[in-house]
Amino acid sequence: MNKIQHSKKGFSSLSVLLVIILTGLTIAVRASADIIHKNNIIKEEEMFIGGRWDTATFAAGCFWCVEAQFSQLKGVKAVISGFTGGKVANPSYKEVCTGLTGHAEACNIIYDPSVISFKQLLAAFFVAHDPTSLDRQGADVGTQYRSAIFYHNPSQKQLAEAVIRALNQQKVYDSPIVTEVTPYSVFYKAADYHQDYYNQNKGVPYCQLVIKPKLDKFRKVFKSRLK
């Protein structure tokens, strides 16, 4: 990854939150997804026995940024970095970086819907990155950095589409949202060194120059929802 900086658009985080809150839709369907890594399928219920967990799958540029942001929120049990949306089985990080696999860098967000809703996660998603930037976030360019919501059930699809429609109608952003809303299929977990990347590598330039500023903004916007 060529990690330098991310562009900023003229939009208000507060405007994003207000529009999403005012969509007036709710979600009450539990999703169950499979995590596939090197031909091993592990059901999420087996990973987090003893509770009821739902899954949201978002692509919003570099998964290091997404993981660092969403792991801050109350009700989020785990954030797993990986690849989805393409046609190549068990892709390596280098293969995905070529942009030829069709996969996006994405995160499976395992959460407790009694603490945080999918709607609230959508609010975080639209604040966490620039959803009007096609196939790039800042200096990270390619289809692997596209903005996408991989829905696990019809309710997630309906809510995602309603929020996008509302944000566009209210012209919260300077340009139309290009976020894809597409069905979830399989998720390939990235190598271990990609997991919890920010916390393990805070001193590297990309973490300091890109992730930390985004994380600081994210924490400020969602300060009442932090762990």
Residues, the chain, total?
Answer: 227
Tell me which of 62, 65, 107, 207 is the catalytic residue.
62
Q: Is 62 a catalytic residue?
A: yes
User: What positions carry a catalytic annotation?
Assistant: 62
